[in-house]
Amino acid sequence: MKKKQYRKVSSEYLKKVETTARDLRILTEISALISSTLDYDELIRMVMEKAKAVMEAAACSILIYNPETNKLEFEVALSGEDTMSELLKNKITLGMGQGIAGWVAKNRKLLFIKDAQADKRFYQEADKLTGFVTEKMIAAPLIGRRGLIGVAEIINPTREDYDMEILQILMRHFAIAIENAIYHRESIERERMKQELEFASVLQKSFLPEKPFYQKKNLTVRALNIPAKEIGGDFYDYREPVSGKVGVFIGDISGKGVSAALYMAKMVSEFRYSARRVRTPEKVMKRLNQMLASAPRGIFLTAIYLIVDSTDGTVLITNAGHPPVLLLTSRGMQILSGPSGPPLGMIEDEYPVYSFTMKRGDRILLVTDGVFEAKNKKGERIGFQQFSEFVRRNRKEENLLDTITGYVQAFSKGTQQADDLTIVEVGYC
């Protein structure tokens, strides 16, 4: 039986094996640790605490890359001072190439700086702000599937027997974990926004008339509203300011999204309040204009408010920078280009009123610009003139609103609806 042969190894070799085994064990522990949570804030802190412990460092920090500003922003900084992180987050940002972190972000290379104060790339302002003294530094880029995530900094590490390759593997682990947490946070935010938009959409629709059809003696009102997104800036309403008369309002708030929807809801409420107290359309417009004067800059409203007498067909109209009214009769179509005031919320002004009389069988058509501003795949718009001609040819259609909607959708087929689409028809029979 052969005797086992043993090979002698040096103490340096054994120490290297032990160090490698320790580093591999640490990597395994870190993999398990960073897989335990997808909470972004918790993960960032865990990553920094582990890096600080592994490298026996005085401090660690992570700067996250903001692609919108093309700058690095401090996300977290761990040291003996709890206020250090907040100071850096609120006061310090680095451009690409600025400071050691900026150089690492720009060049995508890991750096080990033995004397930070002597390095020309070192950004002194962070130490001046916090009172911390940076002597040595390891700065590593964090690269994910979408590119640069940020830069990790290990400040004043005392451990010197680390393996550079192991350190790079550690940073790749950190980058993957942080990116996954970012994806998770973004998905939660998207879901939250989706729920808020759905709620805002339901709330906004509740401000529109309960039914898109209204009848009062000889008058009928039909309406259609198709927002470009979940929520929009177009709206319409109808009221009975006095017995025997019907007031019809159509408006288009500038902008899209939540801000437009909020002001749309506010304007509907104000209109309903004003329409109950004021019997002439020009005074209602003036009141709404005064109310919108306090709106944020850039918010304005184009609108038309008309009051129709259900007995004799007399119509009073006030226009605030809105597309003109179309009058459809048995003989043809007329564009009622009466006097107009400026959009509501722009300047203090008077709003003129003009009138005409509808005959039996006549119809009035009110639209927002989303109807004739629709584009086709070539980027061509319908245009108000072409839209008016279409209405003239189809003025006898019983379901004119559906006919117009079909025309607009056919014209813009294959494109995304860019603006809200609202049509109101007032008939006198």
**Model confidence at 356, in pLDDT bands (50, 70, 90)?**
very high
102 and 248 belong to one structural domain: no
Could you tell me the residue range of the domain that residue 25 belongs to? 12-189
For 382, other C-beta atoms within 10 Å of its C-beta total 18
Where is mean pLDDT largest: 241-245, 259-263, 390-394? 390-394
Q: How far apart are CA 215 and CA 262, in angstroms?
A: 29
pLDDT tens by residue, 189-226: 888 877 766 776 676 677 788 888 988 888 999 999 88
**Is residue 230 very low, low, confident or very high in pLDDT (cuts 50, 70, 90)?**
low
The residue type of 82 is D
Residue that finishes a domain, picked among 141, 159, 189: 189
What average pLDDT does the segment 355-367 reach?
A: 95
- Given this model, what pLDDT does residue 246 score? 93
d(CA 178, CA 399): 56
Residue 55 covered by a domain: yes
Q: How many helices (H) and strands (E) does the chain have?
A: 10, 17
How many domains are there within the chain? Answer: 2
Which residues on adjacent β-strands are paired with residue 424?
A: 223, 366
63 in the same domain as 99? yes
Whether 351 shows a pLDDT value over 70: the answer reads yes
From 158, 189, 220, give the residue that closes a domain.
189
Residue 255 or residue 54, greater confidence = 54
Looking at the predicted structure, is the pLDDT value of residue 6 above 60? no
| Maximum alpha-carbon separation in the chain | 124
Same domain, 394 and 251: yes
Task: Say what percent of the chain tops pLDDT 70.
Answer: 85
CATH number at residue 415: 3.60.40.10
Give the residue-averaged pLDDT of 248-255.
87
- 251-265, 274-288, 392-406: least confident range: 251-265
Instruction: Check whether 394 has a pLDDT greater than 90.
Output: yes
Best-predicted range by mean pLDDT among 6-10, 94-98, 260-264?
A: 94-98
Q: Give residue 20's pLDDT.
A: 65
What Å distances lie between residue 101 and 123, 183, 343, 385, CA to CA? 9, 24, 51, 59
For residue 75, what pLDDT is reported? 84
* Mean pLDDT on 390-413: 93
- Residue 341 pLDDT: 93
Mean pLDDT of 131-159: 89
198 belongs to a structural domain: no
In this structure, are 183 and 215 located in the same domain? no
Is residue 215 included in any domain, yes or no? yes
Question: Do 219 and 278 sit in the same domain of this protein?
Answer: yes
Q: Determine the residue type at 175.
A: A
* Mean pLDDT, range 177-195, rounded to an integer: 83
Q: How much of the chain exceeds pLDDT 90, in percent?
A: 40
Residue 69 maps to which CATH number? 3.30.450.40
For residue 28, pLDDT beyond 60: yes
Would you say residue 4 lies in a domain?
A: no
